[in-house]
Amino acid sequence: MLNLAWVFFKIGVISFGGGWTIVGVIQHEVVAAGWMSAQTFADVVAIAQVTPGPVALNAATMIGFRVAGIPGALAASLAVVAFPMLAVALVLVLLRSTRVDQKKLSDAFRVATIPLIAATLVSLSITTPLAWHVWLIAAGSCALSLFTKLDPLLLILGSGAAGAIIAAVRL
């Protein structure tokens, strides 16, 4: 269980940008450790998406449970959020004590997360074939994120709605 906690702590340390930016890293670590196959991981991510809460935390909880039961779920969940919580607390303290342009900082993080999300999409598509519409929605979301001032939440909701509509039409 210490190995499980250590793996998810490392994931929490190297991640920024949230959920989809670290799904690829989680996949690499989990499959390399032999805790589950790439296909099983893709299934876990699908379930983590529809479960309320952050996808990375949900995935960590499910993987931890699969590896070591309830103690594993708790260890993985706490480990993956420990460093980011401390980092956010430190950044908030620093922002209050300095004159940092918060809008510029937020824009920089937004731009930095785009390639991480794209890498995750590519990584997942290698192990789980994605339909053409998934690529189209992803490309459209990236373009809108880069060239407009749309709120990322609207992009996420719009992408989900587009995927649901396409899935409903295909049935």
The ranges assigned to domains in the chain are: 2-100
pLDDT in tens, 69-103: 999 999 999 999 999 888 888 877 877 777 767 77
Averaged confidence pLDDT in the chain: 83
- Nearest-CA neighbor of 55 among 70, 44, 67, 69? 44
The answer to whether the predicted template modeling score (pTM) of the entire model surpasses 0.85 is: no
CA–CA dist 113, 102 (Å, integer):
17
Cα distances (Å, whole numbers) of residue 1 to 12, 38, 84: 17, 21, 21
